[in-house]
Protein backbone atom coordinates (compact mmCIF):
# COMPACT_ATOMS: atom_id res chain seq x y z
CA UNK A 1 0.00 0.00 0.00
CA UNK A 2 1.28 3.44 -0.77
CA UNK A 3 1.22 5.85 2.11
CA UNK A 4 -0.16 9.26 1.41
CA UNK A 5 0.06 11.77 4.15
CA UNK A 6 -1.11 15.28 3.18
CA UNK A 7 1.49 16.86 5.47
CA UNK A 8 4.31 15.09 3.67
CA UNK A 9 2.95 16.15 0.34
CA UNK A 10 2.89 19.74 1.48
CA UNK A 11 6.47 19.48 2.73
CA UNK A 12 7.73 17.85 -0.45
CA UNK A 13 6.01 20.44 -2.65
CA UNK A 14 8.00 23.15 -0.81
CA UNK A 15 11.35 21.62 -1.73
CA UNK A 16 13.62 23.17 -4.34
CA UNK A 17 16.94 21.41 -4.82
CA UNK A 18 19.56 22.85 -7.12
CA UNK A 19 23.27 23.01 -7.86
CA UNK A 20 25.27 25.99 -8.98
CA UNK A 21 27.45 25.45 -12.01
CA UNK A 22 30.18 27.85 -13.04
CA UNK A 23 33.81 28.23 -13.91
CA UNK A 24 36.09 29.08 -10.95
CA UNK A 25 35.99 32.78 -10.05
CA UNK A 26 32.67 33.54 -11.73
CA UNK A 27 31.14 34.14 -8.29
CA UNK A 28 29.62 30.85 -7.12
CA UNK A 29 30.75 31.25 -3.52
CA UNK A 30 29.62 34.86 -3.41
CA UNK A 31 26.23 33.95 -4.83
CA UNK A 32 25.83 31.06 -2.38
CA UNK A 33 26.58 33.38 0.52
CA UNK A 34 24.00 35.90 -0.61
CA UNK A 35 21.36 33.23 -1.10
CA UNK A 36 21.99 31.77 2.34
CA UNK A 37 21.82 35.24 3.75
CA UNK A 38 18.26 35.62 2.44
CA UNK A 39 17.37 32.41 4.17
CA UNK A 40 18.83 33.71 7.42
CA UNK A 41 21.12 30.68 7.39
CA UNK A 42 24.17 32.92 7.77
CA UNK A 43 24.47 36.21 9.51
CA UNK A 44 26.97 37.90 7.32
CA UNK A 45 28.72 37.51 4.04
CA UNK A 46 32.05 35.76 4.10
CA UNK A 47 30.89 32.82 6.16
CA UNK A 48 30.75 30.33 3.36
CA UNK A 49 34.37 31.04 2.50
CA UNK A 50 35.18 30.60 6.19
CA UNK A 51 33.98 27.04 5.92
CA UNK A 52 37.14 26.23 4.06
CA UNK A 53 39.10 26.90 7.24
CA UNK A 54 36.57 25.52 9.67
CA UNK A 55 36.95 22.48 11.84
CA UNK A 56 35.81 20.04 9.16
CA UNK A 57 38.64 20.95 6.89
CA UNK A 58 41.55 20.30 9.17
CA UNK A 59 42.22 16.64 8.52
CA UNK A 60 45.62 15.67 7.22
CA UNK A 61 44.99 15.11 3.61
CA UNK A 62 43.16 18.33 3.39
CA UNK A 63 46.54 19.96 3.89
CA UNK A 64 46.69 19.50 0.16
CA UNK A 65 43.62 21.61 -0.12
CA UNK A 66 45.06 24.32 2.08
CA UNK A 67 48.33 24.34 0.21
CA UNK A 68 46.57 24.77 -3.07
CA UNK A 69 43.96 27.11 -1.68
CA UNK A 70 41.06 25.30 -3.27
CA UNK A 71 38.08 23.56 -1.88
CA UNK A 72 38.08 19.78 -1.80
CA UNK A 73 34.98 19.61 0.29
CA UNK A 74 31.54 19.89 -1.11
CA UNK A 75 28.28 19.54 0.68
CA UNK A 76 24.66 20.46 0.75
CA UNK A 77 23.17 23.47 2.47
CA UNK A 78 19.57 24.15 3.19
CA UNK A 79 17.52 27.14 4.15
CA UNK A 80 13.95 28.29 4.30
CA UNK A 81 12.81 31.31 2.33
CA UNK A 82 9.26 32.50 1.63
CA UNK A 83 7.75 29.16 2.58
CA UNK A 84 10.14 27.21 0.38
CA UNK A 85 12.65 24.74 1.67
CA UNK A 86 15.72 25.22 -0.48
CA UNK A 87 18.64 22.84 -0.82
CA UNK A 88 21.78 24.11 -2.49
CA UNK A 89 24.13 21.38 -3.54
CA UNK A 90 27.57 22.88 -3.33
CA UNK A 91 29.74 21.74 -6.19
CA UNK A 92 33.52 21.88 -5.95
CA UNK A 93 34.59 24.71 -8.16
CA UNK A 94 38.08 23.76 -9.07
CA UNK A 95 38.59 21.77 -12.21
CA UNK A 96 40.32 19.05 -10.25
CA UNK A 97 37.05 17.98 -8.73
CA UNK A 98 34.66 17.93 -11.57
CA UNK A 99 33.88 14.22 -11.46
CA UNK A 100 32.34 14.84 -8.06
CA UNK A 101 30.58 17.86 -9.39
CA UNK A 102 29.12 15.81 -12.22
CA UNK A 103 27.72 13.35 -9.69
CA UNK A 104 26.27 16.09 -7.54
CA UNK A 105 24.32 17.25 -10.57
CA UNK A 106 22.49 13.92 -10.65
CA UNK A 107 21.00 14.84 -7.28
CA UNK A 108 19.81 18.29 -8.39
CA UNK A 109 16.41 19.12 -9.84
CA UNK A 110 17.64 22.36 -11.40
CA UNK A 111 20.89 24.17 -12.06
CA UNK A 112 21.93 27.76 -11.65
CA UNK A 113 24.62 28.77 -14.11
CA UNK A 114 26.78 31.72 -13.13
CA UNK A 115 28.64 33.51 -15.86
CA UNK A 116 31.20 36.27 -15.49
CA UNK A 117 30.08 39.13 -17.72
CA UNK A 118 33.63 39.76 -18.87
CA UNK A 119 34.56 36.17 -19.55
CA UNK A 120 31.38 34.67 -20.95
CA UNK A 121 30.95 30.90 -21.20
CA UNK A 122 34.12 29.23 -19.89
CA UNK A 123 35.56 25.72 -20.08
CA UNK A 124 34.25 24.22 -16.87
CA UNK A 125 30.81 25.70 -17.38
CA UNK A 126 30.63 23.93 -20.73
CA UNK A 127 31.43 20.55 -19.17
CA UNK A 128 28.96 20.92 -16.34
CA UNK A 129 26.31 22.28 -18.63
CA UNK A 130 26.55 19.16 -20.79
CA UNK A 131 25.66 17.00 -17.79
CA UNK A 132 22.63 19.16 -16.98
CA UNK A 133 21.64 18.91 -20.61
CA UNK A 134 21.84 15.13 -20.57
CA UNK A 135 19.51 15.10 -17.59
CA UNK A 136 17.13 17.62 -19.09
CA UNK A 137 16.89 19.72 -15.92
CA UNK A 138 15.98 23.42 -16.09
CA UNK A 139 18.92 25.80 -16.12
CA UNK A 140 18.76 29.37 -14.81
CA UNK A 141 21.47 31.82 -15.80
CA UNK A 142 22.87 34.63 -13.68
CA UNK A 143 25.27 36.91 -15.52
CA UNK A 144 27.47 38.31 -12.79
CA UNK A 145 29.78 41.26 -12.14
CA UNK A 146 27.82 43.91 -14.03
CA UNK A 147 29.57 46.46 -11.83
CA UNK A 148 32.58 45.73 -14.03
CA UNK A 149 32.89 46.31 -17.69
CA UNK A 150 32.24 43.16 -19.72
CA UNK A 151 30.96 41.75 -22.95
CA UNK A 152 27.95 43.13 -24.76
CA UNK A 153 24.82 41.39 -23.41
CA UNK A 154 23.71 40.35 -26.90
CA UNK A 155 27.12 38.80 -27.47
CA UNK A 156 26.66 36.80 -24.26
CA UNK A 157 23.25 35.50 -25.32
CA UNK A 158 24.70 34.59 -28.68
CA UNK A 159 27.50 32.73 -26.86
CA UNK A 160 24.97 30.75 -24.82
CA UNK A 161 23.36 29.62 -28.03
CA UNK A 162 26.52 29.02 -30.06
CA UNK A 163 28.68 27.39 -27.39
CA UNK A 164 26.08 25.64 -25.23
CA UNK A 165 23.26 25.25 -27.71
CA UNK A 166 20.68 26.73 -25.36
CA UNK A 167 18.27 29.51 -26.21
CA UNK A 168 17.65 32.24 -23.70
CA UNK A 169 15.04 34.59 -22.39
CA UNK A 170 16.43 37.62 -20.53
CA UNK A 171 14.14 38.29 -17.60
CA UNK A 172 15.84 41.60 -17.04
CA UNK A 173 18.26 43.72 -19.02
CA UNK A 174 21.21 45.80 -17.88
CA UNK A 175 21.16 49.56 -18.08
CA UNK A 176 24.80 50.38 -18.64
CA UNK A 177 27.69 48.40 -17.27
CA UNK A 178 30.87 48.91 -15.23
CA UNK A 179 31.14 52.48 -14.01
CA UNK A 180 27.99 53.30 -16.00
CA UNK A 181 25.94 50.52 -14.44
CA UNK A 182 22.60 51.99 -13.35
CA UNK A 183 20.60 48.85 -12.74
CA UNK A 184 18.32 46.57 -14.70
CA UNK A 185 15.04 46.87 -16.51
CA UNK A 186 12.69 44.08 -15.36
CA UNK A 187 10.84 42.85 -18.45
CA UNK A 188 8.28 40.90 -16.44
CA UNK A 189 7.34 43.50 -13.86
CA UNK A 190 8.04 46.46 -16.13
CA UNK A 191 10.14 48.28 -13.59
CA UNK A 192 13.64 49.57 -13.18
CA UNK A 193 15.73 48.25 -10.31
CA UNK A 194 18.36 50.77 -9.37
CA UNK A 195 21.98 49.96 -8.70
CA UNK A 196 23.90 52.20 -6.37
CA UNK A 197 27.64 51.98 -6.18
CA UNK A 198 28.58 50.96 -2.67
CA UNK A 199 24.95 50.19 -1.80
CA UNK A 200 24.08 46.96 -0.01
CA UNK A 201 20.86 46.41 -2.00
CA UNK A 202 19.26 44.57 0.85
CA UNK A 203 16.00 46.09 -0.19
CA UNK A 204 15.31 46.38 -3.85
CA UNK A 205 15.09 50.04 -4.88
CA UNK A 206 12.93 50.35 -7.93
CA UNK A 207 10.43 52.46 -9.78
CA UNK A 208 7.62 51.19 -11.92
CA UNK A 209 7.40 52.27 -15.53
CA UNK A 210 5.13 52.04 -18.49
CA UNK A 211 7.49 50.00 -20.65
CA UNK A 212 11.02 50.93 -21.75
CA UNK A 213 9.70 54.05 -23.54
CA UNK A 214 8.67 55.65 -20.27
CA UNK A 215 10.46 59.06 -20.04
CA UNK A 216 10.86 58.46 -16.30
CA UNK A 217 13.71 56.13 -17.18
CA UNK A 218 15.48 58.88 -19.12
CA UNK A 219 15.16 61.22 -16.18
CA UNK A 220 16.76 58.71 -13.85
CA UNK A 221 19.50 57.14 -15.96
CA UNK A 222 20.17 59.78 -18.63
CA UNK A 223 19.11 60.12 -22.24
CA UNK A 224 21.84 57.97 -23.79
CA UNK A 225 21.31 54.89 -21.64
CA UNK A 226 17.54 55.27 -21.95
CA UNK A 227 17.77 55.36 -25.75
CA UNK A 228 20.05 52.35 -25.74
CA UNK A 229 17.66 50.45 -23.47
CA UNK A 230 14.71 51.17 -25.75
CA UNK A 231 16.63 49.98 -28.81
CA UNK A 232 17.84 46.84 -27.11
CA UNK A 233 14.49 45.85 -25.60
CA UNK A 234 12.71 46.35 -28.89
CA UNK A 235 15.33 44.18 -30.56
CA UNK A 236 14.77 41.50 -27.90
CA UNK A 237 11.00 41.72 -28.33
CA UNK A 238 11.21 41.36 -32.08
CA UNK A 239 14.12 38.99 -32.60
CA UNK A 240 14.50 37.23 -29.25
CA UNK A 241 12.86 34.04 -28.05
CA UNK A 242 9.56 34.28 -26.29
CA UNK A 243 9.03 33.22 -22.71
CA UNK A 244 8.05 29.54 -22.69
CA UNK A 245 7.72 27.73 -19.33
CA UNK A 246 7.53 24.36 -21.09
CA UNK A 247 10.91 24.86 -22.80
CA UNK A 248 12.38 26.21 -19.55
CA UNK A 249 11.29 23.12 -17.63
CA UNK A 250 13.02 20.88 -20.20
CA UNK A 251 16.24 22.88 -20.04
CA UNK A 252 15.93 24.06 -23.64
CA UNK A 253 15.44 27.71 -22.83
CA UNK A 254 17.26 29.44 -19.99
CA UNK A 255 15.87 32.47 -18.17
CA UNK A 256 18.70 34.98 -17.90
CA UNK A 257 19.23 37.50 -15.10
CA UNK A 258 21.84 40.22 -14.86
CA UNK A 259 23.33 41.37 -11.58
CA UNK A 260 26.28 41.86 -9.32
CA UNK A 261 26.39 39.21 -6.63
CA UNK A 262 29.06 40.86 -4.54
CA UNK A 263 26.89 43.96 -4.23
CA UNK A 264 23.86 41.79 -3.62
CA UNK A 265 22.33 43.41 -6.66
CA UNK A 266 19.81 41.28 -8.53
CA UNK A 267 20.13 38.33 -6.14
CA UNK A 268 16.71 38.60 -4.55
CA UNK A 269 15.00 39.16 -7.89
CA UNK A 270 16.80 36.10 -9.13
CA UNK A 271 15.80 34.03 -6.11
CA UNK A 272 12.13 35.04 -6.27
CA UNK A 273 11.86 34.24 -9.96
CA UNK A 274 13.82 31.06 -9.55
CA UNK A 275 11.44 29.81 -6.85
CA UNK A 276 8.45 30.59 -9.02
CA UNK A 277 9.84 28.60 -11.95
CA UNK A 278 12.06 25.87 -10.50
CA UNK A 279 10.50 22.44 -10.09
CA UNK A 280 9.65 20.68 -6.85
CA UNK A 281 11.01 17.09 -6.65
CA UNK A 282 9.79 15.06 -9.59
CA UNK A 283 9.67 11.29 -10.21
CA UNK A 284 13.07 9.65 -10.68
CA UNK A 285 13.81 6.67 -12.90
CA UNK A 286 14.29 3.25 -11.36
CA UNK A 287 14.33 -0.39 -12.45
CA UNK A 288 10.60 -0.65 -11.66
CA UNK A 289 9.67 2.58 -13.42
CA UNK A 290 9.46 6.18 -12.22
CA UNK A 291 9.27 6.62 -8.44
CA UNK A 292 6.79 9.26 -7.38
CA UNK A 293 8.15 11.47 -4.58
CA UNK A 294 4.74 12.12 -3.03
CA UNK A 295 3.08 8.74 -2.86
CA UNK A 296 6.00 6.41 -2.16
CA UNK A 297 7.51 5.89 1.26
CA UNK A 298 11.12 6.87 1.91
CA UNK A 299 13.73 6.19 -0.75
CA UNK A 300 16.92 7.80 -1.99
CA UNK A 301 20.31 7.22 -3.57
CA UNK A 302 23.91 7.90 -2.60
CA UNK A 303 25.47 10.43 -4.96
CA UNK A 304 28.69 11.23 -3.21
CA UNK A 305 30.98 9.80 -0.59
CA UNK A 306 33.35 12.00 1.28
CA UNK A 307 36.12 10.73 3.47
CA UNK A 308 37.70 12.11 6.59
CA UNK A 309 35.55 15.08 7.30
CA UNK A 310 36.43 14.49 10.89
CA UNK A 311 40.16 14.02 11.45
CA UNK A 312 39.68 12.31 14.82
CA UNK A 313 37.89 9.40 13.17
CA UNK A 314 38.65 8.20 9.74
CA UNK A 315 34.99 8.26 8.91
CA UNK A 316 33.33 8.59 5.59
CA UNK A 317 30.08 10.37 4.96
CA UNK A 318 27.73 9.18 2.25
CA UNK A 319 25.48 11.89 0.86
CA UNK A 320 22.00 10.67 0.12
CA UNK A 321 19.46 12.47 -2.00
CA UNK A 322 16.01 11.64 -0.71
CA UNK A 323 13.79 11.03 -3.72
CA UNK A 324 10.51 10.01 -2.17
CA UNK A 325 8.56 10.16 1.06
CA UNK A 326 9.70 11.11 4.49
CA UNK A 327 12.83 10.24 6.39
CA UNK A 328 13.00 9.94 10.13
CA UNK A 329 16.03 9.54 12.36
CA UNK A 330 16.50 5.98 13.57
CA UNK A 331 14.53 4.58 10.67
CA UNK A 332 15.31 1.10 9.40
CA UNK A 333 15.69 1.00 5.64
CA UNK A 334 16.67 -1.51 3.02
CA UNK A 335 20.13 -1.29 1.48
CA UNK A 336 19.12 -2.79 -1.82
CA UNK A 337 22.53 -3.75 -3.26
CA UNK A 338 23.51 -5.56 -0.05
CA UNK A 339 19.98 -6.86 0.40
CA UNK A 340 20.17 -5.92 4.04
CA UNK A 341 18.22 -3.82 6.52
CA UNK A 342 20.15 -0.96 8.09
CA UNK A 343 19.27 1.51 10.79
CA UNK A 344 20.00 5.17 10.06
CA UNK A 345 20.84 6.34 13.53
CA UNK A 346 22.83 9.53 13.16
CA UNK A 347 21.93 11.21 9.91
CA UNK A 348 23.43 14.61 9.32
CA UNK A 349 22.17 17.72 7.74
CA UNK A 350 24.55 20.37 6.54
CA UNK A 351 24.23 24.02 7.21
CA UNK A 352 26.37 26.84 5.91
CA UNK A 353 28.79 26.25 8.78
CA UNK A 354 28.00 23.13 10.67
CA UNK A 355 26.57 19.74 10.47
CA UNK A 356 23.84 18.74 12.82
CA UNK A 357 21.78 15.67 13.49
CA UNK A 358 18.62 15.64 11.44
CA UNK A 359 15.37 14.30 12.88
CA UNK A 360 13.16 14.47 9.84
CA UNK A 361 13.62 15.11 6.14
CA UNK A 362 11.61 14.89 2.96
CA UNK A 363 12.01 14.10 -0.71
CA UNK A 364 14.27 16.75 -2.20
CA UNK A 365 16.51 16.98 0.87
CA UNK A 366 20.04 15.71 1.21
CA UNK A 367 21.28 13.95 4.30
CA UNK A 368 24.71 12.70 5.25
CA UNK A 369 25.08 9.15 6.57
CA UNK A 370 28.04 7.86 8.51
CA UNK A 371 29.56 5.21 6.34
CA UNK A 372 31.44 2.36 7.94
CA UNK A 373 32.29 1.19 4.41
CA UNK A 374 28.92 -0.13 3.29
CA UNK A 375 27.95 2.49 0.76
CA UNK A 376 28.90 2.97 -2.86
CA UNK A 377 28.01 5.77 -5.20
CA UNK A 378 24.64 5.00 -6.72
CA UNK A 379 23.35 2.79 -3.88
CA UNK A 380 19.61 2.87 -3.32
CA UNK A 381 18.05 2.89 0.15
CA UNK A 382 14.32 2.42 0.47
CA UNK A 383 11.41 1.34 2.59
CA UNK A 384 8.76 -1.08 1.36
CA UNK A 385 8.98 -2.54 -2.13
CA UNK A 386 12.59 -3.00 -3.25
CA UNK A 387 13.93 -1.22 -6.30
CA UNK A 388 17.06 0.51 -7.53
CA UNK A 389 17.52 3.97 -8.93
CA UNK A 390 19.32 4.42 -12.22
CA UNK A 391 23.01 3.71 -12.09
CA UNK A 392 25.20 6.70 -11.43
CA UNK A 393 26.90 7.63 -14.68
CA UNK A 394 30.65 7.84 -15.16
CA UNK A 395 32.09 10.63 -17.25
CA UNK A 396 35.21 10.72 -19.33
CA UNK A 397 38.32 11.35 -17.24
CA UNK A 398 40.96 13.60 -18.79
CA UNK A 399 44.13 12.28 -17.14
CA UNK A 400 45.25 8.68 -16.91
CA UNK A 401 48.00 6.88 -15.00
CA UNK A 402 49.09 3.30 -14.66
CA UNK A 403 49.24 2.41 -10.99
CA UNK A 404 51.42 -0.23 -9.33
CA UNK A 405 52.30 -1.05 -5.75
CA UNK A 406 55.92 -0.40 -4.75
CA UNK A 407 56.19 -3.25 -2.28
CA UNK A 408 54.79 -6.45 -3.80
CA UNK A 409 54.25 -7.84 -0.28
CA UNK A 410 51.52 -5.25 0.19
CA UNK A 411 49.57 -6.31 -2.85
CA UNK A 412 46.49 -7.26 -0.83
CA UNK A 413 46.20 -3.94 1.00
CA UNK A 414 46.85 -2.20 -2.29
CA UNK A 415 43.97 -4.00 -4.02
CA UNK A 416 41.65 -3.34 -1.10
CA UNK A 417 42.62 0.33 -0.88
CA UNK A 418 42.29 0.93 -4.60
CA UNK A 419 38.89 -0.77 -4.71
CA UNK A 420 37.55 1.17 -1.73
CA UNK A 421 38.89 4.56 -2.67
CA UNK A 422 37.80 4.33 -6.28
CA UNK A 423 34.31 3.44 -5.06
CA UNK A 424 34.09 6.92 -3.63
CA UNK A 425 33.93 7.99 -7.21
CA UNK A 426 36.47 10.73 -7.74
CA UNK A 427 38.91 8.33 -9.38
CA UNK A 428 37.87 5.79 -11.98
CA UNK A 429 39.45 2.40 -12.22
CA UNK A 430 40.12 0.62 -15.51
CA UNK A 431 41.84 -2.66 -16.28
CA UNK A 432 43.79 -3.49 -19.40
CA UNK A 433 42.46 -6.58 -21.03
CA UNK A 434 45.20 -9.14 -21.58
CA UNK A 435 47.65 -7.88 -18.92
CA UNK A 436 45.17 -6.93 -16.19
CA UNK A 437 47.10 -3.77 -15.38
CA UNK A 438 45.34 -1.07 -13.41
CA UNK A 439 44.76 2.33 -14.95
CA UNK A 440 43.35 5.25 -13.03
CA UNK A 441 41.42 8.03 -14.69
CA UNK A 442 40.66 11.41 -13.14
CA UNK A 443 39.07 14.62 -14.25
CA UNK A 444 41.74 16.71 -12.53
CA UNK A 445 45.32 15.70 -11.69
CA UNK A 446 45.11 16.62 -8.02
CA UNK A 447 43.03 13.50 -7.46
CA UNK A 448 46.12 11.39 -8.20
CA UNK A 449 47.90 13.13 -5.33
CA UNK A 450 44.92 12.73 -3.02
CA UNK A 451 44.69 9.02 -3.83
CA UNK A 452 48.42 8.48 -3.36
CA UNK A 453 48.29 10.28 -0.03
CA UNK A 454 45.28 8.39 1.21
CA UNK A 455 46.58 4.97 0.18
CA UNK A 456 49.65 5.67 2.25
CA UNK A 457 47.79 7.20 5.21
CA UNK A 458 44.85 4.81 5.38
CA UNK A 459 46.23 1.56 3.97
CA UNK A 460 49.99 1.94 4.51
CA UNK A 461 50.68 1.39 0.83
CA UNK A 462 53.18 3.22 -1.39
CA UNK A 463 52.29 3.37 -5.05
CA UNK A 464 53.95 4.36 -8.30
CA UNK A 465 52.00 6.31 -10.83
CA UNK A 466 53.05 6.41 -14.43
CA UNK A 467 51.27 9.02 -16.49
CA UNK A 468 49.81 7.81 -19.76
CA UNK A 469 49.29 10.03 -22.80
CA UNK A 470 45.50 9.56 -23.02
CA UNK A 471 43.05 12.42 -22.59
CA UNK A 472 39.69 10.95 -23.50
CA UNK A 473 37.68 7.85 -22.56
CA UNK A 474 34.73 6.57 -24.56
CA UNK A 475 32.37 3.77 -23.54
CA UNK A 476 31.85 1.42 -26.48
CA UNK A 477 28.51 0.07 -27.59
CA UNK A 478 27.57 -1.82 -30.73
CA UNK A 479 28.79 -4.74 -32.78
CA UNK A 480 30.19 -7.36 -30.37
CA UNK A 481 32.72 -8.84 -32.82
CA UNK A 482 34.25 -5.44 -33.53
CA UNK A 483 34.44 -4.66 -29.82
CA UNK A 484 36.17 -7.99 -29.21
CA UNK A 485 38.77 -7.16 -31.85
CA UNK A 486 39.28 -3.76 -30.29
CA UNK A 487 39.81 -5.38 -26.88
CA UNK A 488 43.18 -6.65 -28.10
CA UNK A 489 44.47 -3.13 -28.37
CA UNK A 490 46.34 -1.67 -25.42
CA UNK A 491 44.17 1.44 -25.53
CA UNK A 492 41.00 -0.55 -24.95
CA UNK A 493 40.27 -1.29 -21.30
CA UNK A 494 37.39 -2.35 -19.09
CA UNK A 495 35.77 -0.24 -16.43
CA UNK A 496 34.90 -1.62 -12.98
CA UNK A 497 31.66 -3.05 -14.34
CA UNK A 498 33.52 -4.85 -17.16
CA UNK A 499 32.23 -2.47 -19.79
CA UNK A 500 34.56 -1.86 -22.73
CA UNK A 501 36.15 1.58 -22.81
CA UNK A 502 38.57 2.98 -25.35
CA UNK A 503 41.16 5.59 -24.47
CA UNK A 504 42.39 8.25 -26.88
CA UNK A 505 45.23 10.74 -26.90
CA UNK A 506 43.33 13.39 -28.82
CA UNK A 507 40.01 14.36 -30.36
CA UNK A 508 41.64 13.65 -33.70
CA UNK A 509 42.35 10.03 -32.74
CA UNK A 510 38.80 9.68 -31.51
CA UNK A 511 37.39 10.97 -34.79
CA UNK A 512 39.59 8.56 -36.75
CA UNK A 513 38.25 5.65 -34.71
CA UNK A 514 34.67 6.82 -35.17
CA UNK A 515 35.16 6.91 -38.92
CA UNK A 516 36.87 3.56 -39.01
CA UNK A 517 34.28 1.76 -36.86
CA UNK A 518 30.86 3.07 -37.85
CA UNK A 519 29.12 0.12 -36.17
CA UNK A 520 30.34 1.32 -32.75
CA UNK A 521 28.94 4.17 -30.69
CA UNK A 522 31.54 6.01 -28.62
CA UNK A 523 29.71 7.29 -25.53
CA UNK A 524 30.98 10.28 -23.60
CA UNK A 525 29.56 8.90 -20.35
CA UNK A 526 28.28 5.56 -19.11
CA UNK A 527 24.81 7.03 -18.66
CA UNK A 528 22.20 4.51 -19.73
CA UNK A 529 24.69 1.79 -20.70
P1 LIG B 1 33.88 31.15 -7.23
O2 LIG B 1 35.29 30.72 -7.50
O3 LIG B 1 33.01 30.97 -8.44
O4 LIG B 1 33.30 30.60 -5.98
O5 LIG B 1 33.96 32.75 -7.09
P6 LIG B 1 33.92 33.70 -5.83
O7 LIG B 1 32.55 33.88 -5.34
O8 LIG B 1 34.97 33.29 -4.87
O9 LIG B 1 34.33 35.06 -6.55
C10 LIG B 1 35.54 35.21 -7.26
C11 LIG B 1 36.02 36.65 -7.18
O12 LIG B 1 35.09 37.50 -7.84
C13 LIG B 1 36.07 37.13 -5.74
O14 LIG B 1 37.19 37.96 -5.62
C15 LIG B 1 34.80 37.92 -5.57
O16 LIG B 1 34.91 38.93 -4.63
C17 LIG B 1 34.60 38.48 -6.97
N18 LIG B 1 33.19 38.76 -7.28
C19 LIG B 1 32.11 37.97 -7.08
N20 LIG B 1 30.98 38.57 -7.48
C21 LIG B 1 31.36 39.77 -7.97
C22 LIG B 1 30.64 40.88 -8.53
O23 LIG B 1 29.43 40.89 -8.65
N24 LIG B 1 31.40 41.95 -8.93
C25 LIG B 1 32.75 41.99 -8.79
N26 LIG B 1 33.38 43.08 -9.20
N27 LIG B 1 33.45 40.99 -8.25
C28 LIG B 1 32.76 39.90 -7.85
Please give the ipTM for the structure prediction. 0.99
Evaluate if residue 309 carries a pLDDT over 70.
Answer: no
Sign of the alpha-carbon torsion through 425, 41, 256, 188? positive
What is the chain's alpha carbon radius of gyration, rounded to the nearest angstrom? 24
Q: Which atom of ligand 1 is nearest to the CA of 24?
A: 2
pTM above 0.90, yes or no: no
Range among 64-78, 157-171, 202-216 with highest mean pLDDT value: 157-171
- Listed in sequence order, the residues at least 6 apart from 118 whose beta carbon sits closer than 8 Å to its beta carbon are 145, 148, 149, 150, 151
Q: Which atom of ligand 1 is nearest to the CA of 260?
A: 23
The pairing of beta strand 332-335 with beta strand 326-328: unpaired
Query: What is the mean predicted confidence (pLDDT) over 402-428?
Result: 89
Evaluate if residue 234 carries a pLDDT over 80.
Answer: yes
Per the annotation, does 147 bind a ligand? yes
Lowest mean pLDDT among 69-73, 194-198, 226-230, 460-464: 69-73
Question: CA separation (Å) from 368 to 128, 317, 357, 375?
Answer: 23, 6, 9, 12
Strand ranges for 336-437 from DSSP E: 340-343, 348-350, 355-357, 360-362, 366-371, 380-382, 399-405, 428-432
Dist. CA 25 → ligand 1 center (Å): 6
Q: Are 367 and 358 in contact (CB under 8 A)?
A: yes
Confidence band, pLDDT 50/70/90 cuts, at residue 313: low
Angle subtended by helix axes 98-106 and 123-135, to nearest 10 = 30
pLDDT of residue 98: 55
Percentage of the residues of the chain whose pLDDT score is greater than 70: 87
CB-defined site of ligand 1, < 6 Å: 22, 24-30, 93, 144-145, 147-148, 260-263
Which helix (H) or strand (E) segment is 85 a member of?
strand 84-89
Closest protein CA for atom 10 of ligand 1: 25
Per the annotation, does 145 bind a ligand? yes
- Go through 398-428 and write b for each residue having 16 or more CB atoms within 10 A of its CB, e for each that does not: bbbbebebeeeebeebbeebbebbbbbbbbb
Dist. CA 45 → ligand 1 center (Å): 12
**Cα separation of 277 and 17, whole Å?**
12
Per the annotation, does 335 bind a ligand? no
Dist. CA 205 → ligand 1 center (Å): 23
Q: Which atom of ligand 1 is nearest to the CA of 49?
A: 8
Q: Which atom of ligand 1 is nearest to the CA of 31?
A: 7
Range among 56-70, 147-161, 409-423 with highest mean pLDDT value: 147-161
Dist. CA 506 → ligand 1 center (Å): 34
Torsion angle defined by CA atoms of residues 485, 488, 491 and 493, in that order, rounded to the nearest 10 degrees? 90
Evaluate if residue 308 carries a pLDDT over 70.
Answer: no
pLDDT of residue 48: 47
Mean pLDDT for all residues in the chain: 87
**Cα separation of 192 and 205, whole Å?**
8
Lowest mean pLDDT among 49-53, 160-164, 186-190, 445-449: 49-53
Closest protein CA for atom 17 of ligand 1: 27
Per the annotation, does 91 bind a ligand? yes
Residue predicted with more confidence, 474 or 525: 474
Q: What is the DSSP string of 100-137?
A: HHHHHHHT-SEEEEEEETTTBS-HHHHHHHHHHHHHT-
Confidence band, pLDDT 50/70/90 cuts, at residue 74: very low
pLDDT of residue 3: 55
For 434-455, write each residue's pLDDT tens digit: 788 999 999 878 788 888 988 9
pLDDT of residue 376: 86
Dist. CA 88 → ligand 1 center (Å): 18
Lowest mean pLDDT among 326-340, 342-356, 431-445: 342-356
- Go through 244-260 and write b for each residue having 16 or more CB atoms within 10 A of its CB, e for each that does not: eeebbbebbbbbbbbbb
Q: Are 459 and 416 in contact (CB under 8 A)?
A: yes
Evaluate if residue 61 carries a pLDDT over 50.
Answer: no
Kindly report the number of other CB atoms within 10 A of residue 28's CB atom: 25
Which helix (H) or strand (E) segment is 412 a member of?
helix 411-423
Residues in the chain: 529
Angle subtended by helix axes 267-277 and 28-38, to nearest 10 = 80
Q: Which atom of ligand 1 is nearest to the CA of 144?
A: 23
Dist. CA 29 → ligand 1 center (Å): 7
Dist. CA 40 → ligand 1 center (Å): 21
Per the annotation, does 284 bind a ligand? no
**Cα separation of 377 and 290, whole Å?**
20
pLDDT of residue 75: 64
**Cα separation of 221 and 173, whole Å?**
14
Percentage of the residues of the chain whose pLDDT score is greater than 90: 63
Evaluate if residue 373 carries a pLDDT over 50.
Answer: yes
Closest protein CA for atom 26 of ligand 1: 145
Per the annotation, does 27 bind a ligand? yes
Per the annotation, does 56 bind a ligand? no
Amino acid sequence: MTQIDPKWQEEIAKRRTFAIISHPDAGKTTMTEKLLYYGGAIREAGMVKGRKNSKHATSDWMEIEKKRGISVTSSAMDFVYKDHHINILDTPGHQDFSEDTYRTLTAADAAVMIIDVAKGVEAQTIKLFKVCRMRGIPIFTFINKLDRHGKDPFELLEELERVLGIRSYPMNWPIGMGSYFNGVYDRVKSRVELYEEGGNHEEIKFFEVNGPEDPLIGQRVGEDLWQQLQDEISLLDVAGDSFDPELISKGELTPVFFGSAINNFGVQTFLDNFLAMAPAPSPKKSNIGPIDPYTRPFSGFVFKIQANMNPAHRDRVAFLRICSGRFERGMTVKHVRLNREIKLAQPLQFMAQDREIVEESFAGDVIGLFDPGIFQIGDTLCVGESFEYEEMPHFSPEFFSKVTVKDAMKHKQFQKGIMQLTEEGTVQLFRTSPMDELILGVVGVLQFEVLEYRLKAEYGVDISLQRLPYQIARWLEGDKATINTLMNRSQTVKDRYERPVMLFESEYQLRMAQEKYPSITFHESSLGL
